[in-house]
Structure 1
């Protein structure tokens, strides 16, 4: 996995930075509030297994994943902490919930019926957390569906253990918090409804990364930090922009240097043409590695601590940059595509702005084929 001789393109994952971010998050929440670290999408491209092992060592309480296969991978690699599957699932995935001893989000009556049936057949109990749709409009029970009839049905699912209820905030990363406050009020009313029907739920949660930063009274019993664990802010509209440490660096090396004469076109379509003779460097990475093609002719990399602009279109497996204004460049020099080099840095937020997306997508799209080196 860490053999760079096979290909000079890799991710460096700074576990010390992850540790610092985790401790910062703990300092922002009440002492008795638990933390469920979100490690879906391979820990946002950082490597779920290694990240989960580090966070387990640090004392995290839960993990959150998107699907049973992600939870199963963690179990197979020795992760013992409770794991909550956040997404809705299909019947063919039910057996993995039992196999890996996962907690499943139940977002529909059909899922409750299906899970109860397979658990009964296996003579076991499945832990579930009920997902409530307070305004996301994605999955979950609408508050209006939580009728006396619903609670009667819930009591009859003898092979299910209700482990908690939760919801997801749709706009907590915006400066205007009105909609988010409404979601909290709806969620609190749902909790009251459960109590009135004699369901004492001891794990209620709604806070994502944005709420952890900007809305301290959203903590409830547990918080779910995701993007902030990895040193990235949920959006530029966050008020409490705490000093987080970026965990990931994306690096490669120069494989060729050449000087192109004036009026030379570069890469597919000839979208860049040299005006004078120009020295360029070829890098062995491209969009197959998750490097956004939209950075063509607008992005840059770091070489010797200086920004080298991308020339022409990014190819599937190669990218060309100008090194005309950078002294003492040679084949084999380290190149930073995302992260820090000397006194300069390129952030996921910068790349997201250049490609009209979000920093989440920048890191999540990095290819799993890239070597990962854990520092």
Structure 2
């Protein structure tokens, strides 16, 4: 069955990015890569296997569902679950040989009651105020882990609150100082806190393991991170975007000057126009906020959106692409010829970040490794 829109994943680009980050952290630091949220929209299993082949050591997921999917796909590498695991699901996690983040007594006590060995990582609250144990409560957890037989504290972790969206890293450095102080209370094998931005900016954050996120997929965490890397480290880090989102033309029609396009009559053509109908919409993850302001690529040229993004359809102007015809390949995100549409560009148009642009692409759309 032929799909009307699909995602192409560049194996070469993904391997390049993983190897580049391996060269940054060296061989003595574990490289753990985030494949949560369907590998940031890139395809969980497909991306995970390429990432491991490229030299990563561990994989990071958010949920039991993701971890179980990877195990069923034959992935036997260590998997670190960063999200909350319901107490009723903990035994499944143990049986799948997962590493779990923990930050409350209830989880640890239930794991111990299961009576099977499991390795966990304690999340330390250093300033992000999401998951994590506050410094004043550490003593309770020191005592708790001293009493466990089956639950092994393998690592301690934290997460930066303000390291990628700023050129002022003073808050991150305060977090780092606090993390080192809190981590010293535990005798653990692994300390980790570095995300993509920290990996590139601050080698002192690498510790025993890093957690590579969005930059594995060839995207910068922010423009501020790109500027800071160039300014502070002078490193030449080339990131290759991995994802291309494509569809096809379903119809080409002539629309006389003065007629409207789409719901709400929000677009009116000012000349006799050729409009191409594309079978993709906001159900697929193509944001409705892109209505009347984005463009797609057809035969290497830009075709601007006309009218509102519909649930399953968008309309684009191909008046200046006279050879455009039914079932021509269309790029929604990625490169075609000399033109490129980036996740950052689409994010700017709708007031969000590149992370959201790719992770919201519907999981039902096939991911094809090329």
Partners of 1:335 and 1:59 lie apart in 2 by 33
Partners of 2:204 and 2:269 lie apart in 1 by 56
State the aligned residue count.
361
Q: Is residue 206 of structure 2 the alignment partner of residue 219 of structure 1?
A: yes
1:180 equivalent in structure 2: 172
Partners of 1:348 and 1:321 lie apart in 2 by 19
Q: Is residue 243 of structure 2 the alignment partner of residue 248 of structure 1?
A: yes
The answer (yes or no) to whether the contact 2:125–2:134 under 8 Å persists in 1 is: yes
> After the TM superposition, which segments of 4 or more aligned residues of structure 1 sit over 2 Å from their partners?
55-59
Q: 1:145 aligns with which of 137, 143, 161?
A: 137
The answer (yes or no) to whether the contact 1:310–1:322 under 8 Å persists in 2 is: yes
Gap regions ≥5 residues in structure 2? 231-236
Per the alignment, in what secondary structure is the counterpart of residue 12 of structure 1?
Answer: strand
2:192 equivalent in structure 1: 205
| CA deviation vs aligned residue, 1:162-213 (integer Å, no higher than 9, x gap) | 111111111110211011001100010012222xxxxx21110000011011
| CA deviation vs aligned residue, 1:254-296 (integer Å, no higher than 9, x gap) | 1100111122111111111112211110000000111111000
1:24 equivalent in structure 2: 20
2:362 equivalent in structure 1: 367
Gap regions ≥5 residues in structure 1? 195-199
2:76 equivalent in structure 1: 80
| CA deviation vs aligned residue, 1:54-108 (integer Å, no higher than 9, x gap) | 2222332111100111111111111111101001222122122122110110011
Partners of 2:69 and 2:36 lie apart in 1 by 11
The answer (yes or no) to whether the contact 1:38–1:64 under 8 Å persists in 2 is: yes
Q: Is residue 154 of structure 2 the alignment partner of residue 167 of structure 1?
A: no
Q: Is residue 219 of structure 2 the alignment partner of residue 232 of structure 1?
A: yes
Partners of 1:150 and 1:166 lie apart in 2 by 14
Partners of 2:141 and 2:97 lie apart in 1 by 26
> How large is the RMSD of aligned CA atoms in angstroms?
1.2
Q: Is residue 116 of structure 2 the alignment partner of residue 129 of structure 1?
A: no
Per the alignment, in what secondary structure is the counterpart of residue 25 of structure 1?
Answer: helix
Per the alignment, in what secondary structure is the counterpart of residue 187 of structure 1?
Answer: helix
Greater shift, 284-293 or 25-34, is seen at 25-34
The structural deviation recorded for 1:47 is 1.0
Partners of 2:218 and 2:55 lie apart in 1 by 19
The answer (yes or no) to whether the contact 2:22–2:55 under 8 Å persists in 1 is: no
The answer (yes or no) to whether the contact 1:88–1:107 under 8 Å persists in 2 is: no
Per the alignment, in what secondary structure is the counterpart of residue 138 of structure 1?
Answer: coil
| TM-score of the aligned structures, taking structure 2 as reference length | 0.95
| TM-score of the aligned structures, taking structure 1 as reference length | 0.94
2:295 equivalent in structure 1: 300
Q: Is residue 258 of structure 2 the alignment partner of residue 263 of structure 1?
A: yes
The answer (yes or no) to whether the contact 2:142–2:185 under 8 Å persists in 1 is: no
Partners of 2:131 and 2:141 lie apart in 1 by 17
Partners of 2:72 and 2:128 lie apart in 1 by 32
The answer (yes or no) to whether the contact 2:145–2:152 under 8 Å persists in 1 is: no
